[in-house]
Amino acid sequence: MQNALSVVFDSLPYLLQGSFLTAGIVVFAMFLGLFIGIFMSVGLVYGNRYIRYILTVYVWIFRGVPVVVLLFLFYFGLFAFLGLNFSAFATVSIVLGMTTGAYQANIFKGAILSLPQGQFKAASALGMSDIQAIKSVVLPQMLRLSIPAWSNEYSIILKDSALAFVIGAPEIMARTQFVASRTYQHLSLYITAGIIYFLLTWAGVIGLRKLEQYVRIPGYSQHGNQ
């Protein structure tokens, strides 16, 4: 017991350093996912038949294949096959970004469809082009409606980032495994890692809840509408 605690105490700085990489993965993936999600949702709602079809297949694949399989596929397979020499960190960020992009596309699509029809028409009636209408009327409303679902995505990406260790990116999980394999203090070390993830998860969720309140406009809340 004495030994377990001292191992945890000694290795804590080393483990916590991993949270920079974890944070890097999460932030990169969230923004890549946001970018992919916004474009895809517009395509899914306003695009022609072929665009919708291709995007639907993308969503189907990234929602149906496990993250671990995607990591192996991209890191050892596709990227090498295409001659791309991406680091483990870059691969994890891209794969998680593409995955959450598929989920975010659906979230945004739902948000766009839940906007009253009149919003787009009113924008057109004022002489806005389609793109102007989407940019200045549809997107600002859609993004606000999506924040609660977004906070859910954050928590999923954070937890999925722990899978980066299977391809060797030195984030929290990989570092924990490294220390555990040398000290044999598996239980206490993994519980420590669990606590770090737990704090990061709920800190992020609460932060996003604050953001939701900050950008709130009267009449826009997922809870208030029903």
What residue ranges bind another protein (CB under 8 A)? Answer: 4, 60-61, 63-70, 72-73, 76-78, 80-81, 110, 155, 158-160, 162-163, 165-166, 173, 177, 180, 184-188, 190-191, 193-194, 197-198, 201-202
Beta carbon nearer to another protein, 140 or 194? 194
Beta carbon nearer to another protein, 133 or 158? 158
Smallest distance, Å, CB 215 to another protein?
24
Beta carbon nearer to another protein, 33 or 133? 33
Smallest distance, Å, CB 51 to another protein?
21
Smallest distance, Å, CB 127 to another protein?
32
Beta carbon nearer to another protein, 120 or 165? 165
Smallest distance, Å, CB 155 to another protein?
8
Nearest-angstrom CA–CA distance, 188 and 181: 13
Beta carbon nearer to another protein, 47 or 110? 110
Smallest distance, Å, CB 131 to another protein?
27
